[in-house]
Structure 1
């Protein structure tokens, strides 16, 4: 992955630098408003990262010690980590073997008497099938948080992903399509949750950086509860505003690149390439391949062959329940066989806005040769 940044972002940054207001200020508010409108949410709260947004989402949803939160193991470890930050227990859930996402069925298998929330991840930008999950969780009074870190620009049933979640979080890390360098966002339709998240990200102070600058004599500062330093800067937001405007073009380009790979690789025995689910469309933040036993090489061997050819691919998402940080934890009784299968058998291909046809063809040729080794 390589972010697509240019002169527009540089000019936006320069304007903020010369304005003198570089911390959280008017650009953050503008970015929040525009992002909320783009995602079909009433409120958006900008944060320092997706992880901090997820932490705030759990706090405002009232999740804490004694609560269980169902999470997919096949996800970046921050998904489970945020649950531990609030003192709750992550209960790992298996996934659909095709999309890599949890489903209502896999969630049902992992339910406990203490389940208070589910974090549904859009794996690599593939939209999660949210409606059945909401029906299940609504019956049990369970909060649905959508971890849409990788999914900006993806669609679910003709609408932006996460529009049906109680609360959602987003990442603007450089590995994502829309980047602010570092940064994240929380979206929700609940005014009370949004207001509390805004307060918590700035130590729960009644004063903001902008209000301090605008008032000659600011009121006495009051912190109503223990908060955090999870703010986004105007420098980041200025870049985000430009990136958001370019998002449709970036998604269209990634889908075109993905289509090129798919057409070239779909007929190779023992390979399965991720595709759009029937209920939505992916932004293809990650274009992953599953290497099956019928292929001419293992997943690890294919990664090595790509590296030998000067091509940087990477392993697919790891299984969090296998990480040393979580091996000692009680993760419930649900089977995680699909999680382990995709963790062991998937790799992610190079996809970025400015990749050229020659580079794509180099990748394709290495994969074809690995399927049919010379002399075999």
Structure 2
């Protein structure tokens, strides 16, 4: 079986987790603090705050901005449902706008029509690791005085060109960026997330809210020679990362440049193998973006049944996934007011499939995927063309 994804975990990660277990400090502690420092340095952010996953990171971002009932947050429906859920969990209303069909990312040209006096933030998703057009997005956000949050769940290691310089996603372009370390991502801690920012006050709020609103962290109380009585200043959450996860994350972070380089090689090989298949649209990077290729998404020719293609590949031992979901089609959001045309989002879900991609994928396995896809599409494309 060729899986859709496979994390690269080895003895180094197992040894790091074992050391954390044997240290006696297994909850949020010194490994988490070290992971935060190293991640911040890697992306070029002044501050990084580790949390339990990216969904909680997004919710903390909104909570720290005091987004709540009656507020609106603009985002893409074409994203994993966690993006929309983080908005609703704060009592706010997600306002869905369409994506650019070339990048599958939120279309900056559609933002102005969605902005109202109740708009508090924009959550832009770097979908499948492909960077959003941050230059255009920040221009709109700044012009309207709205906070830009980057849902960078898939984008660790991706880069964007800003004013002629290549910078990693996570260096503050918007006000906050949120990352995921789920096993489908390029690096993993099993579950886990990270917020980065250049705003010291926001970072302070993240740290307060992630630990029940506690005025003094555990590490300070346990390390003090004086008795400390903590206070609970606000109503917070338990969104902490464990030290075992952080120990694994530190080793994964060391691997990240190599993992991205290998994924880029796999993506380039797919382009060679599939580039001449009539009607199949391959992903492409804008000239100002370098993807980490967290996913490899292809658009099927018109008239082909997505499910049938995927099933036939699965019958040959090749796992795929449908195009990224649209939250507005799911029951929790299906009854919400449909304010904007989302045709490109829906087409992307209905006509795209994600092919297997992971750093340790062999050229033989790639050839097997490409051959199976070509054999599946050729007779169908010919039939569609004949009709």
- Please state if 1:308 is matched with 2:315: yes
Gaps of 5+ in 1: none
Asked whether the 8 Å contact 1:68–1:89 carries over to 2, the reply is: yes
1:209-288 to structure 2, matched below 5 A, reads 209-215=218-224, 217-288=226-297
**Does the aligned pair in 2 maintain the 1:211–1:218 contact within 8 Å?**
no
Contact in 2 for aligned 1:16/1:22 (Cα 8 Å): yes
Q: Is the 8 A contact 1:3 1:177 kept in 2?
A: yes
1:81 aligns with 2:89: no
Q: Separation in 2 of the partners of 1:305 and 1:240? A: 36
In the TM superposition, what are the counterparts of 1:145-164 in structure 2 within 5 Å? Answer: 145-157=149-161, 158-163=166-171, 164=173
Displacement of 1:217 after TM fit? 4.7
Q: Is contact 1:266–1:273 with CA below 8 Å preserved after alignment?
A: yes
Deviation of 1:216 after TM superposition, in Å, equals 5.1
Aligned to 2:364: 358
Q: Which residue among 53, 61, 85 is the counterpart of 2:57?
A: 53
Residue 353 of structure 1, CA deviation: 1.8
User: Contact 2:97–2:107 at 8 Å: present in 1 too?
Assistant: no
Match of 2:70 in 1: 66
- 1:139 equivalent to 2:143? Answer yes
Give the root-mean-square deviation of aligned CA atoms: 1.4
| Deviation for aligned residue 1:278 | 1.6
Secondary structure in 2 aligned to 1:271?
coil
The alpha carbon displacement at 1:362 in A equals: 1.0
Contact 1:73 1:93 (8 Å CA) reproduced:
yes
SS of residue in 2 equivalent to 1:373 = helix
For 1:218 and 1:57, locate their aligned partners in 2 and report how far apart those are by CA, in whole Å: 32
| 1-structure distance, mates of 2:45, 2:74 | 24
User: Alpha-carbon deviation of 1:109?
Assistant: 2.8
Q: TM-score, normalised by structure 2?
A: 0.94
1:343 to 349, 354, 357: 349
* Partner SS, residue 354 of structure 1: coil
1:322 is the counterpart of 2:329: yes
Provide the rounded CA distance (Å) in 2 between the counterparts of 1:142 and 1:215: 41
For structure 2, the residue ranges without an aligned partner over 5 or more in a row are: none
| Helix, strand or coil at the partner of 2:331 | coil
Number of residues of Structure 1 aligned to a counterpart in Structure 2 = 373
Among 191, 199, 209, the residue aligned to 1:200: 209
Query: Aligned to 1:189, which of 186, 193, 198?
Result: 198
Once residues 18 and 167 of structure 2 are traced to their aligned partners in structure 1, the CA distance between those partners, rounded to angstroms, is 34
2:6 — aligned with what? 2
Aligned equivalents of 2:301, 2:326: Cα separation in 1: 18
Following TM superposition, the consecutive aligned residue runs of length 4 or more in structure 1 with deviations greater than 4 angstroms are none
